[in-house]
Structure 1
Amino acid sequence: MPVAHRQGADMRVFLAGATGVIGRALVPLLLEAGHQVIGTSGTAEGAARLDTLGATGMTLDVFDRAAVTDALMHAKPDAVIHQLTSLRGGSPADNARIRREGTRNLVDAARKAGVGRIVAQSIAWAYEPGDLPADESVPLDLNASPPRATTIGGIHALESKTAEIGHHVLLRYGTLYGPGTWYAPHALIAARLRAGDLPADDAVTSFVHVHDAARAALLALSWPSGPVNIVDYEPAPARAWVPALAASFGEPVPVPVSGRAGWERGALNGKAVALGWRPLHPSWRTGFP
Structure 2
Amino acid sequence: MHVFVAGATGAVGSLLVPMLLEAGHTVTGTSRSPAGVERIERLGATGLRVDALDAERLRGAVRAAAPEAVVHQLTDLSGADAAANSRIRREGTRNLVDAAKAAGVGRVVAQSISWAYGPGDDPADEAVPLDSTAAQPRARMVAAVRALEETVAEVETAVVLRYGLLYGPGTWYAPGGAFAAALAGDRSTPFLGSTAANDAVGSFVHVADAAGAALAALDWPGGPVNVVDDEPSPARVWLPVLAEALGVPAPAPEAGRQDWERGALNGLARSRGWRPAWPTWRNGFAALRLPS
2:272 is aligned with 1:272: no
Structure 2 match to 1:255: 252
- Map 1:1-289 to 2 at 5 A: 11-195=1-185, 198-289=195-286
Amino acid at match of 1:212: D
Task: For 1:49 and 1:185, locate their aligned partners in 2 and report how far apart those are by CA, in whole Å.
Answer: 22
Deviation at 1:253, TM superposition (A): 2.4
CA distances 1:253-275 after superposition (whole Å, capped 9, x unpaired)? 22110000011000000000000
Match of 1:7 in 2: none
SS at match of 1:288: helix
Amino acid at match of 1:97: R
Give 1:121's aligned amino acid: Q
Asked if the contact 1:92/1:150 (under 8 Å) is kept, the reply is no
Once residues 67 and 13 of structure 2 are traced to their aligned partners in structure 1, the CA distance between those partners, rounded to angstroms, is 17
1:145: Cα distance to partner? 1.0
Give the CA deviation at 1:250: 2.0
Report how far residue 191 of structure 1 moved: 1.3
Counterpart for residue 289 of structure 2: none
Letter in 2 for 1:133: P
Q: What's the CA shift string for 1:119-159, capped at 9, x where partnerless? A: 00000000001000000000001331101012101100100
When the two chains are superposed, the root-mean-square deviation of aligned CA atoms in Å is 1.0
Cα distance in 2 for partners of 1:130, 1:83 equals 28
Aligned residues: 279
- Report the Cα offset of residue 194 of structure 1: 1.3
- Deviation, 1:251, is 1.5
d(CA) in 1 for partners of 2:11, 2:140 = 22
Q: Secondary structure at the match of 2:12?
A: helix
**Structure 2 residue identity aligned to 1:157:** A
**With structure 2 as the length reference, what TM-score do the two structures score?**
0.94
2:63 and 2:177 mapped to 1: Cα distance? 38
Distance 1:253 1:117 in 2: 43
How far apart are residue 198 of structure 1 and its match? 1.6
For the residue of structure 1 that corresponds to 2:35, the secondary structure is helix
**Aligned-pair distance for 1:91?**
1.3
- Paired AA for residue 265 in structure 2: L
Give, in whole Å, the separation in 2 of the partners of 1:143 and 1:166: 30
5+ long unaligned stretches in structure 1: 1-10
Distance across 2 between alignment mates of 1:52 and 1:177 = 24
CA distance in 2, matches of 1:90, 1:150: 15
% identical aligned pairs: 60
| 1:52, distance to aligned residue in structure 2 (A) | 1.4
Q: Using the alignment, how far apart are the partners of 1:252 and 1:49 within structure 2?
A: 35
Conserved 8 A contact 2:174-2:246: no
Q: Distance in 1 between matches of 2:59 and 2:176?
A: 39
Contact preservation (8 Å) 1:69, 1:109: yes
The separation in 2 between residues aligned to 1:52 and 1:195, in whole angstroms, is 37
Shift of 1:249: 1.6
Residue 21 (structure 1) shift: 0.5
Matched AA of 2:223? G
Partners in 1 of 2:215 and 2:271 — Cα distance?
Answer: 16
